[in-house]
Amino acid sequence: MTRLTTRARQLWLCYRLQLKILLVSPFEGFLGVVFPLMFATATLLVYRVEGDPRAMAYAGLGAAVMGVWTSVTVAASSLLNRERWAGTLELLVAAPTPFLMVLVPITTAMATVGLVSVVVTLVWNRLVFGVRLDVASWPLLVLGVLAATVTIAMFGFLLSVVAVRYRTAWALGASLEYPGWLLCGFVVPVSLLPLVVRPLSWALAPTWAVEAMRSAASGGSPWGELAVCLALGAAYAALAAYLGRRLIESARRHATLALT
Amino acid sequence: MSSARVFFVGGLLSFRAQFNWLSPWILVPSLMVSPVAQILLFAYVGRAAGVGDDRFFLVGNALNYAAIPCTFAMTFAISGERWAQTLGLVLVTPARRLPLFLGRALPVIVTGWAVAVFGLGVGSLLLGVRLEVAVWPSLLLAVAVTSVSCTSLGLLMGAACLRIRDGATLGNVVFLVLLVFCGTNVALADLPAWMAAVGEWLPLTHGIEAARSVAAGAPLGDVAGPLVRELLTGLAYGVAGLATLGWMERDSRRRATLERM
Indicate the pLDDT class of residue B246, thresholds 50, 70 and 90.
confident
Best-predicted range by mean pLDDT among A213-217, B49-53, B243-247?
A213-217
Q: B139-188 pLDDT, tens per residue?
A: 999 999 999 999 999 999 988 888 887 888 899 999 999 999 999 999 99
Closest CA to B116 of B165, B69, B171, B163: B69
DSSP H or E segment with residue A136: none
What proportions of chain A, in percent to the nearest 5, are helix, strand and coil? 80, 0, 20
Question: Which residues 137-196 on chain B approach chain A with CB closer than 8 angstroms?
Answer: 166, 168-169, 172-173, 176, 179-180, 184-186, 190-191
Buried b (16+ CB within 10 A) or exposed e, B96-105: eeebbbbbbb
Using a CB–CB cutoff of 8 Å, tell me whether B47 touches chain A: yes
Q: Range with the lowest mean pLDDT among A4-8, A145-149, A160-164?
A: A160-164
Q: What is the mean pLDDT of residues A106-112?
A: 88
Q: How far apart are CA B85 and CA B92, in angstroms?
A: 13
| For chain B, percent of residues with pLDDT exceeding 70 | 95
Q: How far apart are CA A213 and CA A217, in angstroms?
A: 6
Q: How far is CA B222 from the centre of its chain?
A: 24
pLDDT of residue A171: 73
- Residue pair B139/B215 in contact (Cβ under 8 Å)? The answer is yes
- Hey, how many other C-beta atoms are within 10 angstroms of the C-beta on A82? 16
Q: Range with the lowest mean pLDDT among A184-193, B17-26, B66-75, B172-181?
A: B17-26
Indicate the pLDDT class of residue A189, thresholds 50, 70 and 90.
very high
Closest CA to A32 of A40, A20, A42, A22: A22
Query: Closest partner residue to A45 among B25, B30, B191, by Cβ?
Result: B191
Q: What is the mean pLDDT of residues A72-85?
A: 82
| A contacts of B44 (beta carbons < 8 Å) | 182, 188, 192-193
CA distance between the termini of chain B: 35
Q: How far apart are CA A156 and CA A77, in angstroms?
A: 7
> To the nearest whole number, what is the mean pLDDT of chain B?
89
Q: How far apart are CA A44 and CA A26, in angstroms?
A: 25
CB neighbour class for B195 (10 Å; exposed up to 12, middle 13-18, buried from 19): middle
Is residue A206 pLDDT above 50, yes or no? Answer: yes
Indicate the pLDDT class of residue B261, thresholds 50, 70 and 90.
low
Q: What is the mean pLDDT of residues A226-235?
A: 96
Greatest C-alpha distance within chain A: 61
pLDDT of residue A73: 86
Q: What is the mean pLDDT of residues A190-213?
A: 96
Best-predicted range by mean pLDDT among A31-45, A123-137, A190-204, B82-96?
A190-204
pLDDT of residue B260: 66
Q: How far apart are CA A177 and CA A32, in angstroms?
A: 12
Is residue A242 pLDDT above 70, yes or no? Answer: yes
Q: Break chain A into its structural domains and give their ranges.
A: 9-249
Query: Closest partner residue to B48 among A31, A174, A189, by Cβ?
Result: A189
ipTM: 0.90
- Residue pair A188/A205 in contact (Cβ under 8 Å)? The answer is no
Best-predicted range by mean pLDDT among A66-70, A168-172, A173-177?
A66-70
| For chain B, percent of residues with pLDDT exceeding 90 | 59
Query: Closest partner residue to B30 among A26, A45, A171, by Cβ?
Result: A171
Using a CB–CB cutoff of 8 Å, tell me whether A23 touches chain B: no
Q: Nearest chain B residue to A26 by CA: give it.
A: B169
Best-predicted range by mean pLDDT among A69-73, A217-221, B245-249?
A217-221
Q: Rounded to 10 degrees, what is the CA torsion of B78, B80, B85, B87?
A: -10
pLDDT of residue B152: 95
Q: Tell me which amino acid residue A136 is.
A: A
DSSP B166: -
pLDDT of residue B21: 47
DSSP string, B27-58: HIIIIIIHHHHHHHHHHHHHHHHT-S-HHHHH
pLDDT of residue B175: 94
pLDDT of residue B43: 97
Q: What is the mean pLDDT of residues A232-243?
A: 94
Q: Tell me which amino acid residue A38 is.
A: M
Q: What is the mean pLDDT of residues A123-146?
A: 92
CB neighbour class for B254 (10 Å; exposed up to 12, middle 13-18, buried from 19): exposed
pLDDT of residue A173: 78
Q: How far apart are CA A17 and CA A28, in angstroms?
A: 14
| B contacts of A163 (beta carbons < 8 Å) | none
Q: Which residues contact B254 (CB under 8 A, 6 or more apart)?
A: none
**3-state class of A204 per DSSP?**
coil
Using the beta-carbon criterion (under 8 Å), do B37 and A178 form an inter-chain contact?
yes
